[in-house]
Amino acid sequence: MPVLDSYLFFDRRCAEAMRFYEKTLGGRLEPMMKYGDSPDPSARVPGAEDLVMHACLVLDGRRLMASDCPPTHPAQPMGGFALSLMYDSPQEARRVFDALAQGGEVTMPMQKTFWSESFGMLVDRFGTAWMVGGGAQGADTACWLPASRKPLVVASRPRHRLASRQRRREPWQERGRAWGCWQLRRGCCWAPRRRARRKRPH
Contact (CB, 8 A) for 114 and 63: no
**Cα–Cα distance list, 133 to 85, 90, 94, 95, 110 (Å):** 6, 7, 8, 11, 8
Domains 1-73 and 77-148 share a fold: yes
Q: Taking the domains of the chain in order of start, what are their residue ranges?
A: 1-73, 77-148
According to DSSP, the β-strands at 83-87 and 62-68 are unpaired
| Architecture of the structural domain at 77-148 | Roll (3.10)
Please, is 134 exposed, middle or buried when counting C-beta atoms within 10 Å of its C-beta (0-12, 13-18, 19+)?
buried
| Helix, strand, coil abundance in the chain, percent, nearest 5 | 20, 25, 50
For 1-73, CATH gives 3.10.180.10
For 62, residues 6+ apart whose C-beta sits below 8 A from its C-beta are: 5
pLDDT in tens, the chain (202 residues): 898 999 999 999 999 999 999 999 999 999 999 998 988 888 788 888 899 999 999 998 899 999 999 888 888 888 899 999 999 999 999 999 999 999 999 999 999 999 999 999 999 999 999 999 999 775 444 444 444 433 333 343 434 443 444 445 555 444 444 444 434 344 444 444 455 566 666 5
According to DSSP, the β-strands at 52-59 and 33-34 are antiparallel
Contact (CB, 8 A) for 164 and 117: no
Residue 46 confidence (pLDDT): 83
Please, is 78 exposed, middle or buried when counting C-beta atoms within 10 Å of its C-beta (0-12, 13-18, 19+)?
middle
Residue 157 confidence (pLDDT): 41
Task: Give the three-class secondary structure for 133.
Answer: strand
Provide Rg for the chain, Cα atoms. 30
